[in-house]
Each structure stands twice: as structure tokens, then as C-alpha cells.
Amino acid sequence: MKIKKTAVMAGSILSFSLFAAGCGREEPQTLREQAQAAQEELEQAREDAAELIADSEDEAVEILSDARDDAEQEVRDAKQEADEMVNQAERKLNQKLEQLTEDELVKPETQTSQTDVDVIIREEEVAPKSPSEAVEEAD
């Protein structure tokens, strides 16, 4: 049994030695392959990052462009609204002015100016007086 154990142990050692020897020879190749794969992954990651940055820049430019367009539209809308308000105010003022002008054209007949008052006073001074007033003035 002891021989069997020794043989198994020797076989195990031999297998391990062969495995270690095989790994030793393949290790530089495996490390190179891993390094190459890591380098390729790094390059791919850089390309992906560059694409993401470009996409982000394009998206940012698009967002800013949309925001600028929206702001310009709001300015145009506000200006148009202000113009409409000014036009409406002008129309109201013109209507008031026309109404005042019409009122002035109608009212001069009914209103008495200062010259009209002066004329009326003079007419009363010159107008003939009743006989009793004339007698009183004569006294």
C-alpha cells in the first residue's frame, strides 16, 4: 500500500511538474495575449468614449439651438403682442379724439364763449329801456 501511495504521490508530483512546466512556457504567451486584449479593450473604450463625447456635444448643440430658437420665438411673440397692444391703444385714442372733435363741432352752438358774453352785455347796455326805467334814470 505504501508503494501505491508513493506511486500516486509521484504521479501527482510529476503531473504537477509537467503542468507547471507547461504553464511556465505558455505564461508569457498568455500574458501577451491578455495584454493585447486589454490594449484592444482600452482602444475600444477610447473610441466609445470619443463617440459618446461627440454625441453629447451634438446633443448639447441641438439642445442649445432648440433653446435659442424657442427664445427667439418668444421674443417675436412678445414683440407682436406689444405691437398689437400699441395699435389697439392708438385706435382707442383715435376714437376718443374723433369723439371729442365731433363733440366740439356740435357744442359751439350750445356753448357760450367769452366774446358771446361780451356781446350780450353790450346789447343790454344799448337796448332801449322800459318807460319806467327811462324815467328813473332821468331823475
Model pLDDT, residue 80:
95
Give pTM, 2 decimals.
Answer: 0.40
Residue 70 lies in a domain: yes
Distances 6 to 1, 9, 44, 119 between C-alpha atoms, Å: 8, 5, 53, 156
Residue numbers of the domain that contains 68: 2-126
69-98 tens-digit pLDDT: 999 999 999 999 999 999 999 999 999 888
Q: Which three cell numbers stand for residue 27?
A: 505564461
Model pLDDT, residue 65:
93
Share of the chain above pLDDT 70, in %: 53
The terminus-to-terminus CA distance of the chain in angstroms comes to: 183
Residue 92 lies in a domain: yes
Q: How many domains does the chain have?
A: 1
20-51 tens-digit pLDDT: 555 555 566 788 888 888 889 988 988 988 89
